[in-house]
Structure 1
């Protein structure tokens, strides 16, 4: 029995030794370090804007269908006066008194000229026949509503203050010559707002600036990472509200109390 136990022990030892010889060490491959994807952020919703709000249509030339496009000389001057009228009515703050004073001064200095401009502008509507007065009044309501878009108020008032300051120091005869340039300045804050809103609505992504991209561990050792160009747009997968036709809110036409002598 003792001899049998010795033989059995040797056999077991040889068997274990054979198994150990057949074992192969398995070593995990080292992790592959790759640059992290740059962080991106969606263009923000402009201050004061609301999802689904209506803005003028974007035209093929990259501009927007505002009431201040494709105007005659008389229409340009009258639209400028209308925009400044809205500023005198709506702009509040430290420059409120200055805007109203300069606007009333402009009415005084340009009284005869503005009366002639309004006559020419009305004649353009009359020449089209039909109920021209209704068309004219509707157009003026849309124009006042446009200049009254609330989210643009701050930029619009700043622009109106600059335009009125320029008018107050420029020669009176330059009023007509610089009307298109000044109207463009009043229109610019609205265009900037529409572009910012469209950038948000279309899901435009903008890169977030950072000093250096940290390293991260790839999910697999053989993963291949293709870096994205910093200026390559990334579109959001989130649904965005569908564009709607521009239809500004209807408000009562503004009125401004001025010195009666101005209108004589």
Structure 2
């Protein structure tokens, strides 16, 4: 009888994880409990953020960062149409309109960079830069995370006044890049870890504020 009571409490705890996770991630569409893709703000010349632009001025670096964000959201508009609720197509089109001047200035700065650094073959260099930038956002196995974050970044960009779209790029580009790495839904990760013990730990200190198992309570792999 005691065993059944503990199992029942374990199932109740599991249900609590699902409910709390859903409430916590109410804005998430493709996950029960969204993985944490967050990252620190960037300048644009850090490894893994954008293609290298040797000798670029700070203005050109920021232009490249903004152009990377635009390219990533463009890819999302094409790849994420399986999830219409994310509005990646509408957000992208609205961003192009709302931030047209800032985006045009960024493209002009990038073009100027290649004219300055590769005067004889600047057009080819620019085309290669653009193509490689687009390709760097192509993903298959991490599509859910990429699309989820792209939807959020689109809304973030639309919340910015004209001339401030680069602030979304600075504060969230690392998150965008992190979303390209395949990550499992945290709800199922925690459920599998708890299932290995045949009973969810009932100690309240074993669960964080998002109702996820803390590291010290997780069973050995």
TM-score by length of 2: 0.54
Alpha carbons of 1:131 and 1:166: their partners in 2 closer, same or farther (altered >3 Å)?
same
- Point out where structure 1 has 5 or more consecutive residues left out of the alignment: 1-63, 197-205, 213-230, 235-264
Alpha carbons of 1:180 and 1:69: their partners in 2 closer, same or farther (altered >3 Å)?
farther
Match of 1:170 in 2: 160
Q: SS state of the match for residue 87, structure 1?
A: helix
Q: SS state of the match for residue 177, structure 1?
A: helix
Deviations 1:159-211 (A, max 9, x none): 10000111222323331223222322211112x33x99xxxxxxxxx9x9547
Query: 2:147 matched to 1:157?
Result: yes
**Whose radius of gyration is greater, 1 or 2?**
1
Mapped contact 1:125–1:136 kept (Cα < 8 A): yes
Q: SS state of the match for residue 139, structure 1?
A: helix
Mapped contact 1:155–1:189 kept (Cα < 8 A): yes
Select 1:143's aligned residue among 112, 116, 133: 133
Alpha carbons of 1:119 and 1:94: their partners in 2 closer, same or farther (altered >3 Å)?
same
Q: SS state of the match for residue 156, structure 1?
A: helix
2 CA distance for matches of 1:103 and 1:174? 16
Select 1:109's aligned residue among 67, 75, 98: 98
> 5 Å matches for 1:165-244?
165-190=155-180, 192-193=181-182, 209-210=196-197
- Point out where structure 2 has 5 or more consecutive residues left out of the alignment: 1-45, 54-60, 185-192, 200-217
Higher helix residue share: 2
Relative contact order: is structure 1 or structure 2 higher (C-alpha 8 Å, sep ≥ 6)?
1
Alpha carbons of 1:96 and 1:211: their partners in 2 closer, same or farther (altered >3 Å)?
closer
Match of 1:256 in 2: none
**Corresponding pairs, count:** 141
Mapped contact 1:110–1:172 kept (Cα < 8 A): yes
2 CA distance for matches of 1:106 and 1:169? 10
Q: SS state of the match for residue 87, structure 2?
A: helix
Query: 2:102 matched to 1:134?
Result: no
Select 2:71's aligned residue among 71, 78, 82: 82
TM-score by length of 1: 0.46
RMSD: 3.2
> 5 Å matches for 1:11-30?
none
Select 1:66's aligned residue among 26, 43, 48: 48
User: How far apart are 1:150 and its partner, in Å?
Assistant: 1.6
Alpha carbons of 1:113 and 1:82: their partners in 2 closer, same or farther (altered >3 Å)?
same
